[in-house]
Amino acid sequence: MKSVKNIAFALKTYGFLMQQLVGRDFKVKYKRNVLGIAWSLLYPVLLMGVMAIVFSRIFKINVPGVSYLVYLMTGLVYFNYFSEASSLAMGSVVVNFSLINKVYLPKYIFPLSKCIFVGINFLLTLIPLYAVIILTGTGLNWYHLLLPFSFFCLFLFTVGMGFVLSAVSVFLRDMFYIYGIVLTLWTYLTPIMYDINMMNPKFAAILKFNPLYQYINFARMIIIYRSCPSWLNFVASLGSALLVLLFGVFVFRRNQDKFIYYI
Amino acid sequence: MQSIISAKNVSMRFNLGIEKGYSLKQAFVDLITGKRRDKIDNDFWALTDVSFEVAPGEVIGFIGNNGAGKSTLLKVIAGVMNPTKGSVSVCGNICPMIELGAGFDMDLTADENIFLNGAIMGYSKDFISSKRDEIVEFSELSDFMSVPVKNFSSGMIARLAFSIATIVDPEILIVDEILSVGDYSFQQKSEEKMLSMIKGGTTVLFVSHSAASVKKICNRVIWLDHGHVIKDGDTSVCDEYVASFSV
């Protein structure tokens, strides 16, 4: 009860700051581009176009019975959110050192604001995703109303990772390079451009422990296979997200008072 | 009268063995050479057993040489650092004068920065909106409000920062060497603003190397040296501090 009160108090006090930080990121990101916010819509479409050509034409990867474009784009939209938000969150504490050193601010606000900022971008990328769903004739169904559940899990998972990464990178600057490599590896270990059933079953079983696979799978089940995710999908998605979030909060809280000596 | 700030036996330790940007390479080197970095005994006590009480409305100047612990002490009071030993309790809202422009985003316009900076200092949207015109007027930058701050001169940035920082009447104001901003006329104006805030009953913690300006503004002076309080008294402490150099 007390913590609920604390959270409500923090929301009231720092809500406006959060709004300003997210707004700042938007202004800075789009201000100097000719196309501005249209890039949020164009970028995923172009990226998907390139990958679709490379994987379906050159490598001849195909997922039987479904539109490969939709298959690919669902995975891309989810994974890109994670990779962009977690990378930005990782640097957010280090970058804002001049503030942390002068004013008392809750430090979690920096990684969290990055995850929210990229989250708004993520919502914008749903527009081209739905355009592709409709144009390819994949069609809509009522289960689409369950999709926000997977957005929510993806968000919690990313926030958790953002907390861990931003805390670790304060102590270990090498993380910025290491994580770049890890992300590349992660891209290939997540079934974004291939179907997990194409893999060796033993290897596929291991890949299913990847939380991002859970969220993408949840979405594909609805968008592509027009079926309702099983209760196991719900549990795996929410469970992995909460676990990582709690771990992130734990790591961040334990270390946040030490940040100032290391920056 | 109840004190607004009370510091009890505050000590602050830094470990000088911690290098900035501790990297994997160093960790690896340490592993091979068998050295444990945190075991190296080069602790540095920036503050040792500092205690004082501040009554509301007092204007305290902190003087001392470089490295005496003045800025560290203010950071502890502002809640940016937790003291290694002892405790600090503050009842009242603190307005730290953020180092000139530290809270600014250089890509945003002056107007956007007013809101961003205000939010960082913990003000609400309505409050900043209502004070916006006053801030613009005080900074004398009304023609430049839609210009990105990166195109400002350092004096203009300082003027904007000072105007935002002082626009409210906080209960406690922390000033760390800030009065020498802007051109001569703005310096006069900022000093007047400070004096009027002090008359209005704001408690001020003022750090400066200039004994003259401390003497002019403050009614109590704390002299720090190597983390110890050497003297705590009225402005005559300034004279003793200055005299200590002439021996």
Please identify among residues 17-46 of chain A the ones whose CB lies closer than 8 Å to any CB of chain B: 17, 19-21, 24, 27-28, 31
What's the pLDDT at A104? 81
Query: Residue A226 to residues A63, A132, A147, B123: CA-CA distances in angstroms?
Result: 15, 16, 12, 48
| Among candidate residues B165, B193, B223, the one where a domain is terminated | B165
Q: Look up the domain containing B216 and give its range.
A: 5-96+208-246
Residues of B in contact with A174 (CB under 8 A): 23-25
Residues of B in contact with A105 (CB under 8 A): 120
Same domain for B75 and B25, yes or no, is yes
Per the rule left: phi > 0, alpha: psi between -120 and 50, beta: everything else, A52 is: alpha
What's the pLDDT at A64? 77
CA distance A228 to A144: 9
Pairing of the two strands B172-176 and B203-207: parallel
Flag if B98 and A171 touch (Cβ within 8 Å): no
CA dihedral A129, A132, A136, A141 (to 10 degrees): 40
Nearest residue, CB atoms, B105 vs list A16, A28, A263: A28
| B174 within domain boundaries | no
Residues of B in contact with A21 (CB under 8 A): 116, 119
Q: How many domains does chain B have?
A: 2
What's the pLDDT at B40? 52
Return the bridge partners of B224, or none: B229
| Amino acid in the structure at residue A192 | I
Same domain for B10 and B91, yes or no, is yes
Return the closest-CA partner of residue A148 out of A238, A47, A75.
A238
| B230 within domain boundaries | yes
Residues of A in contact with B15 (CB under 8 A): 261
| B235 within domain boundaries | yes
Flag if B119 and A28 touch (Cβ within 8 Å): no
| B185 within domain boundaries | no
What's the pLDDT at B199? 81
For each of chain A's 263 residues, which pLDDT tens digit applies?
556 677 777 777 788 889 889 988 888 888 777 777 788 788 878 888 888 888 878 877 777 778 888 888 899 999 999 999 999 999 999 988 878 887 888 899 999 999 999 999 899 889 989 988 998 888 888 999 999 999 999 999 999 999 999 999 998 888 899 999 999 999 999 988 888 888 888 888 888 899 999 999 999 999 998 888 999 999 999 999 999 999 999 999 999 888 887 76
Residue pair A40/A124 in contact (Cβ under 8 Å)? The answer is: yes
Token reading at A233: 């999908």
What is the residue-wise DSSP string for A211-224?
Answer: HHHHHHHHHHHHHT
- Does B22 score more than 80 pLDDT? no
How far does the CA of residue B244 sit from the closest CA of chain A (Å)? 31
Return the bridge partners of A89, or none: none
H/E stretch holding B232 reads strand B228-233
Which residue in chain A has the smallest CA separation from B13? A261
* Domain residue spans of chain A: 34-262
Cα angle at B60 between B240 and B103, to 5 degrees?
125
Measured over the CA atoms of residue A257, residue A11, residue B125 and residue B198, the dihedral's sign is: negative
CATH assignment at residue B222: 3.40.50.300
Residue pair B43/B16 in contact (Cβ under 8 Å)? The answer is: yes
What's the pLDDT at A177? 93
- Does B178 score more than 70 pLDDT? no
Same domain for B16 and B76, yes or no, is yes
Flag if B120 and A99 touch (Cβ within 8 Å): yes
Residues of A in contact with B107 (CB under 8 A): 27-28, 31
Return the closest-CA partner of residue A186 out of A165, A160, A211.
A211
Same domain for B61 and B127, yes or no, is no
CA distance B70 to B206: 10
A98 inside 8 A of chain B by CB: yes
Token reading at B181: 């901003």
Same domain for B83 and B119, yes or no, is no
Residues of A in contact with B80 (CB under 8 A): 100-104, 260
Return the closest-CA partner of residue B77 out of A106, A104, A96, A14.
A104
Nearest residue, CB atoms, B80 vs list A19, A172, A260: A260
- Does B24 score more than 70 pLDDT? no
Q: Which residue has the tokens 């210009």?
A: B147
pLDDT per position as a tens digit, B40-93 = 556 788 888 888 888 888 888 888 888 788 888 888 888 888 888 888 888 877
Flag if A262 and B22 touch (Cβ within 8 Å): yes
The upper half-sphere exposure of residue B151, i.e. CA atoms within 13 Å in the direction of its Cβ, equals 9
| B108 within domain boundaries | yes
Nearest residue, CB atoms, A104 vs list B27, B80, B124: B80
State which of A154-163, B115-124, B207-216 shows the largest mean pLDDT: A154-163
Question: Would you tell me how many other CB atoms lie within 10 Å of the CB of residue A198?
Answer: 12
Is the complex ipTM higher than 0.90?
no
| B61 within domain boundaries | yes
